[in-house]
A = this chain, B = another copy of it.
Amino acid sequence: MTDVKTGINPLFLREEELRQGIELLFFAYRDFTAEPDAILAEYGFGRAHHRVIYFVGRNPGMTVSDLLGILRITKQSLSRVLGQLVDEGFITQRPGARDRRQRLLELTEKGTEMERLLTERQRARIARAYREAGAEAVEGFRKVMLGLIDEGDRPRFPVRPPGRR
């Protein structure tokens, strides 16, 4: 049970290592969301608004279904948040060219500005962490993070432009 060479229980090390991973995820996510959350609160928005703005900005012309698939929430939950963003002029909807049942989503200028305001902090945080850790560490980070995501849901980078809708 105890390694003869190191005098350390390897199972304990493994357990400790995995718990460290759990905690890193918790703390990183906590701090990663705290800054945008504070800005959002000033606008009467919440984290859900940020997520919608982010992904619509990232995938202009995406459908509501696409967004539901990414966020993994119900359409009723999304509709409240999306409705607010449309009403307040952050997002526009237009019918799909091939399938007119679809409402293709896009950021307005105002939405783009808000996206920048919110995401800028997160980009800065990541840039700092990447810079401090170095290119090799970043590669490792990416590998592990991709492995944490359910197979089949792993995003492909770089994101390709949206196809004809």
Contact = CB atoms under 8 A, between A and B. Distances in A.
Interface of A: 14-32, 34, 51, 54, 58, 72, 119, 122-123, 125-130, 132-134, 136-150, 153-155, 157-159
Contacts of A29: 25, 29
A98 to B, nearest CB: 27
Nearest to A131: B147
Contacts of A58: 19, 23
B145 A132 contact: no
A144 B157 contact: no
A26 to B, nearest CB: 7
A21 B1 CA distance: 39
B119 A22 contact: yes
A108 B160 CA distance: 51
B122 A157 contact: no
